């Protein structure tokens, strides 16, 4: 079982190198906080906010998974080269379309082939 790293508020961190490390691995969930039951709901997940992550053969973001509480809703697999390949950097981004039936707590996890699993802050979505 891999260790799960959680996002830390980078404004509270003094060292720039650590801010970079945390930010570029953390998935950020972008979605509305209200949804209609039974209708398509769009959730965009972007890994890294202010910093980009390498896209090297031996070091890249290889997947993003989307959860509602304990239930996995969807996942996307990415291969090295999707963001330009060796020597390039980028923000792995996936847009998921899901259907929610009741209030949800959306969490995303990303996986770095060198630095493990990273989890977003949860986003509460009220569903009516
Ligand atoms: Fe990494």
Count of domains observed in the chain: 1
For residue 58, the CA-to-ligand 1 centroid distance in Å is: 10
Nearest to 107 by CA among 96, 3, 36, 35: 96
For residue 95, the CA-to-ligand 1 centroid distance in Å is: 21
- At 16, is the pLDDT very low, low, confident or very high (cuts 50, 70, 90)? confident
Residues with CB under 5 A from ligand 1 (ion): 112, 114-115
For residue 127, the CA-to-ligand 1 centroid distance in Å is: 35
For residue 114, the CA-to-ligand 1 centroid distance in Å is: 5
For residue 39, the CA-to-ligand 1 centroid distance in Å is: 35
| pLDDT at 8 (0 to 100) | 80
* Range(s) of the domain holding residue 73: 4-127
Contact assessment for residue 37 and residue 102, using Cβ atoms and an 8 Å cutoff:
yes
| pLDDT at 10 (0 to 100) | 79
| b/e sequence 71-82, b meaning 16+ C-beta within 10 Å | eebbebebebee
Q: Is the pLDDT of residue 37 over 80?
A: yes
Radius of gyration for the chain, computed over Cα atoms and rounded to the nearest angstrom: 15
Q: Is the pLDDT of residue 1 over 90?
A: no
For residue 117, the CA-to-ligand 1 centroid distance in Å is: 10
Read off φ and ψ for residue 17, nearest 5 degrees. Answer: -65, -35
Query: How many alpha carbons fall within 13 Å on the CB side of residue 81?
Result: 2
For residue 35, the CA-to-ligand 1 centroid distance in Å is: 33
What percentage of the chain reaches a pLDDT higher than 90?
86
Task: Give the mean pLDDT of the chain.
Answer: 95
Contact assessment for residue 47 and residue 110, using Cβ atoms and an 8 Å cutoff:
yes
Contact assessment for residue 119 and residue 107, using Cβ atoms and an 8 Å cutoff:
yes
Nearest to 55 by CA among 97, 99, 93: 93
For residue 113, the CA-to-ligand 1 centroid distance in Å is: 7
Read off the pLDDT of residues 102-111 as tens digits, 9 standing for 90 and up.
999 999 999 9
Q: Is the pLDDT of residue 95 over 90?
A: yes
Nearest to 43 by CA among 90, 104, 128, 117: 104
Q: Is the pLDDT of residue 17 over 80?
A: yes
| pLDDT at 60 (0 to 100) | 98
The H or E element spanning position 63 is strand 61-68
Q: For residue 117, give the CATH number of its domain.
A: 2.60.40.730
């Amino acid at each position: 079982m891999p260790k799960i790293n959680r996002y830390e508020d980078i404004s509270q961190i003094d060292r720039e190198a650590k801010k970079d490390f945390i930010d570029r691995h953390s998935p950020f969930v972008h979605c509305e906080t209200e949804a209609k039951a039974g209708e398509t709901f769009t959730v965009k997940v972007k890994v890294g906010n202010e910093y980009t992550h390498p896209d090297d053969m031996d070091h890249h973001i290889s997947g993003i998974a989307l959860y509602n509480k304990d239930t996995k809703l969807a996942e996307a697999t990415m291969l090295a080269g999707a963001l330009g390949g060796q020597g390039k950097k980028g923000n792995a981004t996936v847009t998921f379309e899901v259907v929610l039936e009741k209030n949800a707590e959306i969490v995303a996890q990303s996986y770095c082939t060198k630095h493990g699993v990273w989890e977003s802050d949860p986003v509460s979505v009220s569903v009516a």
